[in-house]
Amino acid sequence: MKLSIWTYEGPPHVGAIRVATGMQKVHLVLHAPQGDTYADLLFTMIERRNHRPPVTYTTFQARDLGSDTATLFKSACLEAYERFKPDLLLVGASCTAELIQDDPGGLAEALGLPIPVVALELPSYQRKENFGADETFFQIVKHVAKPVERSENISCNLIGPTALGFRHRDDILELTKLLDDLGVDVNVCAPMGATPADIADLGRAHFNVLMYPETGEMACRYLERALGQPYTKTVPIGVGATADFIAEVGQIIGKPALASTVRSRLPWYSASVDSTYLTGKRVFIFGDGTHAMTAARIARDEIGFDVVGLGCFNREMARPVRTMAKSMGLDALISDDYLEVERAIADLAPELILGTQMERHIGKRLGIPCAVISAPVHVQDFPARYSPQMGPEGANVIFDTWVHPLVMGLEEHLLTMFRDDFEFSDSAGPSHHAAHAPAQQRAEVETGQSADTNIIWLKDAESELRKIPFFVRGKARRNTEKYAADRGVAEISIDTLYEAKAHYAR
Amino acid sequence: MPNDLSQIGCTNTPVLKQRGQHEVFCGLTSIIWLHRKMHDAFFLVVGSRTCAHLLQSAAGVMIFAEPRFATAILEETDLAGMADAHAELERTVAELLSRRPDIKRLFLVGSCPSEVIKIDLATMAKKLSEKYDNRVNVVNFSGSGIETTFTQGEDACLEAVIRDLPQTDQTQLAVLGALPDVVQDQMLRLLSDMGLENVLVLPHARADTPAAVGPNTHFICAQPFLGAAHDEMVRRGAKPIAAPFPFGAQGTTAWLAAIAKRFGVDDATLQAAIAAPKARAEQAIATVAKTLVGRSIFFFPDSQLEIPLARFLSQECGMHLTEVGTPYIHRALVGPDLEALPSDIILSEGQDVDKQLDRVLDCNPDLTVCGLGLANPLEAQGLRTKWAIELVFSPIHFYEQAADLAGLFARPLLRADLLKVGKVA
């Protein structure tokens, strides 16, 4: 039993629904109690979909349990087939139905429907949403994809985008444009937008582009084995990664000299002098493994931030995230415990969080700006405008999104110089972002005694500390306390504060 | 303004019952507002990741202001053996209470999986209450989707609360149902103006509020979904007061009049208490109702508020009712409202959502009241919709909110007239 307040991922059947909803002419019959229909609103409200997800829930009740839930499941399957006439039927069970062990796969098989029926194993008490999506799509591909002749032009499949994915809608468009520039056609994009007939046609492509390992890796591995299609390992988020992706595509299609200039504004925006103030800003990065790792590379190599924390909530990606964190001199935080992530952020006191919607709220509470880089998604992650994460335009979007929440260069100096201006104070947050100003009361402990040591802050040192702008105050406090603790100093004076400042200024 | 009076009365209208997919929330969803209403209570759902995900997603937004609810997520190891699950729950509760020492009432909330594997939460609650003697009162109820629909979670919670209340012989009025604070204060002022001071409101905001029930307790429901709580009050010897629910000017007046009658409040006192707010409400409704009069409305089942709200919209706003769907019809509660509905409507209980969607498209009403999963798909098909869940989250009871309530239904219609850009989804 695990005490959980917020979760980063839903149960595995929500992953299955994301695949079914992304696809066309597919229907999912889910053996589930009535409350599980809440999942529909994720798609109709958060993603603003104009159709109900193609899911029939059996919605069994307590009184059905004693009698015959299996019959209920079979009639739900038949009615769903009659009403929706899908080309492929998915069947599965949610957490409660898993316990009553009705075997949806066997029951549906016995109905003898004239379409492929794919039974899903979604272990609700072990796995989570991303696994559910990955597994569901893999099963569909395994059932339907067959060897076919390769296309005449060089083509690829885009693999991984689903309904309710973080910016999947726009990433598809951006990658299609990028590949077109390289002379590569897109054969099929799946699951998003694909029909079962498209899945049968996957083999026409010369290779696969694995857009999101979280939801497409099993299928890509299978297609590599079964149909001999190589797949790309680089996720093209960021200028460097996009260049690497182009090079990787070049290798695969036998054009190693493929031009790798990425037409993005990010490099110049980052180099322009106005961005100098971004140098060394301490960022904490957390999200799904793929987005966290790509963000870490951009943060360090393309914007010049100092990555002070890196982690992911999906254990499946623990290994590569750990490796990358290690290369940055960090211990990765692999956890789906929201409170643990909050503690890590509070401890590190970063100047910027690159996280999920959950970290956005942590940031709000701690008074730290946050930009969202990954699912779990919120209605705001489906903007009306075009805003991909991948490719050249994705890099532009990322530059704007990350820099926006920060106090800008000259304003930062003014805040430092004139701290007592009653209108222009740091507790108001970035002046260009009034609507998102952090609350006046900060969670930061401002008492005389340090939070976790026995070091005392003398009154004048304490008020000197308050003159430091809020976005670096946490770091200054920590550094000073560490400096004092390392030297056995029990009381922090103004001198200690500035000695520490000089020490860490190296 | 009312529709043709010759056709009033829905008591004997045949009820359409179809068994198919239910597109409704489970009772756990009630926790979203209950945890805000009960200041020293914590709701611990014993369930699956799905339960946790539902609570997080149900309101359409995440509520991050330090929630007083959480989920003890069952894992593979918990499914192995019962003794194991009990020990695990004890450990989880200890972890929770050490984090939240301010908690005085802990609700162990059953879910679909905990019901199916038969974790005995009632016994656990008793044991834990003894363990945390005097410090925390541990109570169990079920919010599972195999037993409860949406607002029935509050019903089950309140039933459990009532079961634990001490006995009293004192004559008192009890009002059942969680109301927004501002609305509850208005209600208490109205009752006080009628000379009723000794009013018990359930659920009570704090554990130390003196609350007891007995044969001289007369009670009335402020929410129509409290069937089980109603029955539990009756078992405790309390006397129910039947009335239409206090929506709109007429509903509120009838509700207060029923209380006045039971407590022997004379008519002059009643009229003096209600004259001014009633006049205000009537005038305010009349303005908003201009948008609603003559327009047709279709209710999907959601919160059990459907029948009383249909009464208000038909009787006080001149709307034309087509189908009124509700998850469950508890006649002891909604009987008086049913009597005031036109008899020619379709009254449906339970749901086969696909067939009901066929009916709504056939009927093409001016406004459709439905859940969040259906609203945008229906908008995309050309219908105007009102999210039912907003009716549970907004102050809508009594005189001062009557026009706001009408406004909730008028807004989608006004908005449709405002937008000149078409709607291609």
Residue A34 to residue B371, Cβ atoms within 8 A: no
Residue A41 to residue B60, Cβ atoms within 8 A: yes
- Binning pLDDT at 50, 70 and 90, where does residue A418 land? low
Residue A37 to residue B49, Cβ atoms within 8 A: no
Strands A2-4 and B69-73: antiparallel
Closest of A265, A261, A310 to residue A403, by C-alpha: A265
Nearest chain A residue to B46, by CA: A1
Q: A451 — contact with chain B (CB < 8 Å)?
A: no
* Residue carrying the six token digits 């919010």: B143
Nearest chain A residue to B372, by CA: A41
Closest of B261, B251, B255, B357 to residue B301, by C-alpha: B357
* Residue carrying the six token digits 């926006």: A404
* Residue carrying the six token digits 């162990």: B108
Three-class SS of residue A10? coil
**A40 in catalytic set:** no
Provide the residue count of chain B.
425
Is the omega angle on the peptide bond into residue A191 within 30 degrees of 0, that is, cis? yes
Which residues neighbour B335 within 8 Å (Cβ) at sequence distance 6 or greater?
B11, B242
Is the omega angle on the peptide bond into residue B14 within 30 degrees of 0, that is, cis? no
Residue A35 to residue B26, Cβ atoms within 8 A: yes
Q: B360 — contact with chain A (CB < 8 Å)?
A: no
Three-class SS of residue A111? coil
Domain with CATH 1.10.8.550 in chain A: 444-506
- Chain B residue numbers with beta carbons less than 8 Å from the beta carbon of A124 are 48-50
pLDDT, tens only, A449-503: 555 567 889 998 888 888 776 667 777 888 888 889 889 888 999 888 888 888 8
Instruction: Using alpha carbons, list the distances in angstroms from residue A184 to A204, A264, A372, B209.
Output: 13, 20, 31, 71
Nearest chain B residue to A97, by CA: B113
* Residue carrying the six token digits 């069947």: A91
Q: B75 — contact with chain A (CB < 8 Å)?
A: yes
| 3-state percent breakdown (helix, strand, coil) of chain B, nearest 5 | 50, 15, 35
CA distance B124 to B91: 12
Instruction: Using alpha carbons, list the distances in angstroms from residue A176 to A18, A155, A171, A173, A208.
Output: 22, 11, 8, 5, 13
Q: How big is the A-B interface in CB pairs under 8 Å?
A: 186
Say what the pLDDT of residue B10 is.
Answer: 87
Q: B78 — contact with chain A (CB < 8 Å)?
A: yes
CA distance A30 to B266: 58
Cβ under 8 Å to A: B residues 30-49: 46, 48-49
Please state which architecture CATH assigns to domain A266-406.
Answer: 3-Layer(aba) Sandwich (3.40)
Residue A45 to residue B91, Cβ atoms within 8 A: no
Nearest chain B residue to A42, by CA: B57
Closest of B288, B273, B123 to residue B194, by C-alpha: B273
Residue B376 to residue A61, Cβ atoms within 8 A: no
Secondary structure element (H or E) that encloses residue B202, with its range? strand B199-202
Residue B146 to residue A34, Cβ atoms within 8 A: yes
Three-class SS of residue B117? coil
Say what the pLDDT of residue A258 is.
Answer: 76
pLDDT, tens only, A104-124: 999 999 999 999 999 999 999
Tokens of A64: 């059905």
Tokens of A478: 């920590």
How far off is chain A from B26, nearest CA to CA, in Å? 4
Residue A48 to residue B376, Cβ atoms within 8 A: yes
Can you point out the beta strands (E) in A214-319?
Answer: 282-287, 306-312
Q: Is the torsion defined by CA of A173, A177, A178, A180 positive or negative? A: positive
How is residue A449 annotated by DSSP? B
Superfamily of segment(s) A444-506 = Proto-chlorophyllide reductase 57 kD subunit B (1.10.8.550)
How far off is chain B from A186, nearest CA to CA, in Å? 25
Tokens of A16: 């299955």
Q: B25 — contact with chain A (CB < 8 Å)?
A: yes
- Chain B residue numbers with beta carbons less than 8 Å from the beta carbon of A337 are none
Q: A355 — contact with chain B (CB < 8 Å)?
A: no
- Binning pLDDT at 50, 70 and 90, where does residue A441 land? very low
Closest of A208, A238, A273 to residue A388, by C-alpha: A238
Long-range contacts, A39-43 (Cβ 8 Å, 24+): A39/A10, A39/A13, A39/A14, A40/B23, A40/B372, A40/B373, A40/B374, A41/B57, A41/B58, A41/B60, A41/B371, A41/B372, A41/B373, A42/A10, A42/A14, A42/A164, A42/B57, A43/A17, A43/A163, A43/A164
Q: A33 — contact with chain B (CB < 8 Å)?
A: yes
User: What is the maximum span of chain A, computed from C-alpha positions, in angstroms?
Assistant: 83
How far off is chain B from A358, nearest CA to CA, in Å? 9
Strand order in the sheet with A2-4: A2-4, B69-73, B41-47, B105-110, B137-142
- Chain A residue numbers with beta carbons less than 8 Å from the beta carbon of B56 are 6-7
Nearest to B145 among A13, A33, A361 (CB): A33
Say what the pLDDT of residue A444 is.
Answer: 41
CA distance B260 to B274: 12
Q: A297 — contact with chain B (CB < 8 Å)?
A: no
Residues above pLDDT 70, as percent of chain A: 90
CA distance A498 to A494: 6
- Chain B residue numbers with beta carbons less than 8 Å from the beta carbon of A71 are none
CA distance A147 to B67: 53
CA distance A92 to A104: 6
Q: Looking at this predicted complex, what is its ipTM?
A: 0.93
Domain with CATH 3.40.50.1980 in chain A: 12-130, 145-252, 266-406
Nearest to A4 among B71, B91, B375 (CB): B71
Closest of A328, A321, A287, A290 to residue A306, by C-alpha: A328
Nearest to B88 among A1, A45, A96 (CB): A1
Residue A59 to residue B29, Cβ atoms within 8 A: no
- Class of A145-252 per CATH? alpha beta
- Chain A residue numbers with beta carbons less than 8 Å from the beta carbon of B27 are 35
- The domain segmentation of chain B, as residue ranges, is 5-22+281-418, 27-148, 172-268
Exposure string (b/e) for B202-235, b if CB count within 10 Å is 16 or more? bbbbeeeeebebbeebbbbbbbbbbbbbbbbbee
Of the candidate CATH numbers 3.10.310.30, 3.40.630.30, 3.30.230.10, 3.40.50.1980, the domain formed by B172-268 belongs to 3.40.50.1980
Per-residue pLDDT of chain B (425 residues; tens, 9 = 90+): 444 555 788 888 899 999 899 999 999 999 988 988 888 999 999 999 999 999 988 755 555 566 889 999 998 888 876 657 788 899 999 989 988 889 999 999 999 999 998 899 999 999 999 999 878 999 999 999 999 999 999 999 999 999 999 999 999 999 999 999 999 999 999 999 999 999 999 998 888 888 999 999 999 999 999 999 999 999 999 999 999 999 999 999 999 999 999 999 999 999 999 999 999 999 999 999 999 999 999 999 999 999 999 999 999 999 999 999 999 999 999 999 999 999 999 999 999 999 999 999 999 999 999 999 999 999 999 999 999 988 988 899 999 999 999 999 999 999 999 999 877 66
Question: Do B284 and B402 form a contact (C-beta atoms < 8 A)?
Answer: yes
Residue A11 to residue B49, Cβ atoms within 8 A: yes
Q: Is the torsion defined by CA of A84, A86, A90, A91 positive or negative? A: positive
Q: Please compute Rg for chain A using Cα positions.
A: 26
Say what the pLDDT of residue B205 is.
Answer: 83
Question: Do A20 and A136 form a contact (C-beta atoms < 8 A)?
Answer: yes
Residue A9 has, within 13 A of its CA and on its CB side, a CA count of: 29
Cβ under 8 Å to B: A residues 222-241: none
Is the omega angle on the peptide bond into residue A376 within 30 degrees of 0, that is, cis? yes
Say what the pLDDT of residue B134 is.
Answer: 74
CB atoms within 10 A of CB A70: 18
Say what the pLDDT of residue B341 is.
Answer: 96
- Chain A residue numbers with beta carbons less than 8 Å from the beta carbon of B146 are 33-34, 60-62, 64-65, 96
Q: Which one of A68, A274, A331, A460 is the catalytic residue?
A: A274
Q: What is the CATH number that goes with domain A12-130?
A: 3.40.50.1980
Say what the pLDDT of residue A392 is.
Answer: 97
CA distance B56 to B58: 6
pTM of the model as a whole: 0.91
Secondary structure element (H or E) that encloses residue A46, with its range? none
Q: Is the pLDDT of residue A398 over 50?
A: yes
Cβ under 8 Å to B: A residues 123-182: 123-126, 128
How far off is chain B from A60, nearest CA to CA, in Å? 7
- Binning pLDDT at 50, 70 and 90, where does residue A440 land? very low
Superfamily of segment(s) B5-22+281-418 = Nitrogenase molybdenum iron protein domain (3.40.50.1980)
Provide the residue count of chain A.
506
Is B27-148 in CATH node 3.40.50.1980?
A: yes
Say what the pLDDT of residue A439 is.
Answer: 41
Residue B53 to residue A65, Cβ atoms within 8 A: no
- Chain A residue numbers with beta carbons less than 8 Å from the beta carbon of B149 are 34
Residue B75 to residue A125, Cβ atoms within 8 A: yes
Nearest to A42 among B57, B71, B149 (CB): B57
Residue B54 to residue A35, Cβ atoms within 8 A: yes
CA distance A409 to B311: 61
Phi/psi at A115 (5° precision): -130, 160
Return the residue in B112, B328, B361, B423 with the most chain A beta carbons within 10 A, the one to mutate for interface testing.
B112
